[in-house]
Amino acid sequence: MRDVAVIGVGMQKWGELWAKSTRDIFVESALLAMDDAGVDTLGAMYVGSMAPGLFADQEHLGSVMADYLGQKLIPSTRVESACASGGLAFRLACMDVASGMHDVVLAGGVEKMTDIGGGDATHALASAADMKWEAVHGVTFPGLYAMMAVAHMAKYGTTREQLAHVAVKNHYNGSMNSRAQFPMKITVEGVINSVKVADPLNILDCSPITDGAAAAIVVPADMVKDFKKAGVKVIGTGHATDTIALHDREDLTTLAAVSASAEQAYKMSGKGPRDLDFVEVHDCFTIAEIIVSESLGLFERGKGGPAAEAGDTGLEGRTPINPSGGLKSKGHPVGATGVAQIVEITEQLRGEAGKRQIKNARVALAQNMGGSGGSSVVHILEVM
């Protein structure tokens, strides 16, 4: 197996992109990544997208995107793992290059979520949960994560204020990210007093509905010298699944798929939680960031909330989480989120993150999750 590196990334501003189609926003990000890498021809591509048929009436994205990118006749595959679709697309691109099948592979992700009404969007997102036993009975994702939050509060004493600190920190980071959907600062009081969605979660605890795309170019590590920018090596990857329904899990306060996928990536990379200079995690809700941080081994069980409140997860904390602003501020076009994490990590490790740059960053982790933890993908990257 060959070592793999990222040598180009691309992403445009996310938000409500009314004037652009799914193919428009994907091709824009793909072209940015190809220009960043200095390539004009691909060997293959993988397109992460959760529900383009429900959101935008367009399936068969492998063919559509290769065509509109001017890369016809190459193998192009649409990848789905709910909100982890982008992360899985990146993993498959890495596996493709590592196997020796192709030398230059694009991993992309895209979702156009705002062309349908709120009810239809809720239905589309609910298809990532257990439709038969959860969604049909009215339990959509805010309700599922609210149950996880209540369980975590009861077991560990996690507070409403600690949840709010996660949102405040991520919006602070996002305020320095020109591509973020909501790049504004917020306050703990503002989060706590915002509109209730599913007790104890308020609207400012929840990631938004977003249009957006992101892309990364993956090549063999020994070819990096042939490209115009420094490469970032992919040293570990992991993928795991769990029961899709919460009622089948032994413990609602942890995420077994996250832990399993992380253990695979740690073992492959030879790194552990204490070796990471920062992480990008799947903060679809504030409680998700706290539970994920514990499931990754960054903090002991029950200590993720206090760590957020103490500032340990801030840009200058001992374990910075989501310097990009995360899903909460940057946005969450579900199929693109996992690739956007790779964009942030690549730019951080190349020293290109501007005001939110993590000092002396050399090793970082990306964790992307489907549904309420029914799937999880983890990657560890390092400066070459």
Q: What percent of the chain has pLDDT over 70?
A: 100
Residue pointed to by tokens 């206090």: 306
Report the pLDDT value the prediction gives residue 150, as an integer from 0 to 100. 98
Q: Quick one: which of 85, 147, 376, 87 has its CA closest to 259? A: 376
Peptide bond into 200 cis (omega under 30): yes
Cα–Cα dist 206/377, whole Å: 21
Q: In CATH, which of 3.30.420.10, 3.40.47.10, 3.40.50.10860, 3.40.50.410 is domain 4-117+210-232?
A: 3.40.47.10
Asked if pLDDT for residue 228 goes beyond 90, the answer is no
Do 371 and 129 contact (CB within 8 A), yes or no? yes
Q: Please report, rounded to a whole number, the percentage of residues in the chain having pLDDT higher than 90.
A: 96
329-366 pLDDT, tens digit per residue, is 999 999 999 999 999 999 999 999 999 999 999 999 99
Write down the H helix ranges in the chain. Answer: 22-37, 52-56, 61-68, 85-99, 118-126, 141-156, 160-174, 188-192, 256-269, 286-295, 304-310, 326-330, 337-349
Task: Supply the DSSP string of 74-103, one letter for each residue.
Answer: S-EEEE-BTBTHHHHHHHHHHHHHHHTS-S
The catalytic position among 83, 94, 206, 284 is 83
Residue 231 phi, psi (nearest 5): -90, 160
List the single range of 108-117, 129-138, 203-212 with lowest mean pLDDT.
129-138
Asked if pLDDT for residue 155 goes beyond 90, the answer is yes
- Measured from the Cβ of residue 122, the count of other Cβ atoms closer than 10 Å reads 15
Torsion from C-alpha of 379, 12, 347, 178, nearest 10 degrees: -120
pLDDT digits (tens, 9 = 90+) for 254-284: 999 999 999 999 999 999 999 999 999 999 9
Residue 5: which residues within 8 A CB-CB, separation 6 or more?
Answer: 218, 219, 220, 221, 224, 231, 232, 233, 234, 384
pLDDT at residue 112 above 90? yes
**Torsion over CA: 197, 198, 204, 207 (sign):** negative
Structure tokens at 218: 């993956």
Distances (CA, A) of 237 to 33, 120, 334, 364, 367: 21, 34, 20, 12, 10
Give the type of residue at 43.
Answer: G
The answer to whether 206 is a known catalytic residue is no
Residue 236 pLDDT grade (very low, low, confident, very high; cuts 50, 70, 90): very high
Q: How many residues does the chain have?
A: 384
How far apart CA 123 and CA 54 sit, in angstroms, is 9
Q: Give the separation between CA 380 and CA 296, rounded to whole angstroms.
A: 12
Mean pLDDT on 187-202: 98
Q: Lowest mean pLDDT: which of 122-131, 190-199, 217-226, 237-246?
A: 122-131
pLDDT at 229: 85
Instruction: Give the C-alpha separation, 274 to 255, whole Å.
Output: 20
Measuring CA to CA, how many Å separate 316 from each of 6, 144, 169, 193, 367?
26, 32, 11, 27, 20
Instruction: Report the mean per-residue pLDDT for the chain.
Output: 97
Marked catalytic residue, from 102, 165, 332, 379: 332
Q: Are 65 and 45 in contact (CB under 8 A)?
A: yes
pLDDT in tens, 6-63: 999 999 999 999 999 999 999 999 999 999 999 999 999 999 999 999 999 999 999 9
pLDDT band at 143 (very low <50, low <70, confident <90, very high): very high
Q: For residue 118, what pLDDT is reported?
A: 87
What 3-state class would DSSP assign to 6? strand
Structural domain spans, the chain: 4-117+210-232, 130-206+235-383
Position 318 pLDDT exceeds 90: yes
The reported pLDDT for the residue numbered 230 is: 87
Question: 130-206+235-383: same fold as 4-117+210-232?
Answer: yes
- Judge whether 177 and 171 are in contact, CB under 8 Å: no
Asked whether the whole model's pTM tops 0.95, one would answer: yes
pLDDT bucket at 184, cuts 50 / 70 / 90: very high
130-206+235-383 fold: Peroxisomal Thiolase; Chain A, domain 1 (3.40.47)
DSSP reduced 3-state for 262: helix
How many helices and strands, by DSSP H and E, does the chain display?
13, 11
Q: Across residues 131-144, what is the average pLDDT?
A: 92
Q: Is 332 a catalytic residue?
A: yes
